[in-house]
């Protein structure tokens, strides 16, 4: 859930409000402040890094950039085939490929993966080890999980918020 929330902050706050200066836009398909693809993507990255035994910070950045960019390219084709409407367009970006991927977002994803693997995840593990059995930790976990499930049910019930 941490990476789902951090992904939402990156997309909705950094990309929309700060970088593109468009004002606040909830970039998620859910109501709440989470983008599940970032949580799922992080666990995929964890698995790939464990499989490849990637640990050195420079290699975390390089491999993370390649994996994320490849995933974004594949996802763009899957989205085109299923939804028919692109969900992002990098045509104005330097070194873009068909508007699907570009150098700047690729480097940003590489940096975010480096930050997650080398800074955030070790801190989360230390916090979990310290507070794993605390009542506050368990209550927070249950509340956030319940809110996420309610959000999913509401979105399924009310339909998509994606405008096509």
Burial class (CB in 10 A: 0-12, 13-18, 19+), 118: middle
- Summarize pLDDT for 98-133 with one digit per residue, the tens: 999 999 999 999 999 999 999 999 999 998 888 878
pTM metric for this prediction: 0.82
Rounded to whole angstroms, the Cα distance separating 112 from 65 reads: 9
Rounded to whole angstroms, the Cα distance separating 140 from 31 reads: 19
Average pLDDT of the chain to the nearest whole number:
89
Q: What is the pLDDT of residue 49?
A: 95
């Amino acid at each position: 859930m941490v990476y789902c929330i951090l992904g939402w902050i990156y997309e909705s706050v950094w990309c929309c409000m700060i970088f593109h200066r468009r004002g606040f836009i909830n970039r998620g398909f859910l109501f709440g402040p989470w983008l599940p693809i970032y949580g799922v993507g992080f666990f995929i990255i964890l698995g790939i890094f464990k499989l490849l035994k990637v640990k050195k910070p420079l290699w975390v950045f390089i491999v993370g950039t390649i994996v994320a960019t490849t995933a974004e390219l594949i996802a763009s084709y899957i989205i085109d085939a299923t939804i028919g409407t692109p969900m992002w367009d990098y045509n104005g970006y330097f070194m873009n490929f068909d508007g699907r991927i570009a150098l700047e977002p690729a480097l940003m994803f590489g940096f975010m993966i480096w930050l997650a693997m080398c800074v955030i995840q070790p801190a989360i593990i230390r916090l979990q080890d310290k507070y794993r059995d605390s009542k506050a930790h368990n209550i927070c976990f249950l509340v956030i999980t319940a809110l996420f499930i309610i959000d999913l049910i509401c979105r399924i019930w009310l339909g998509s918020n994606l405008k096509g």
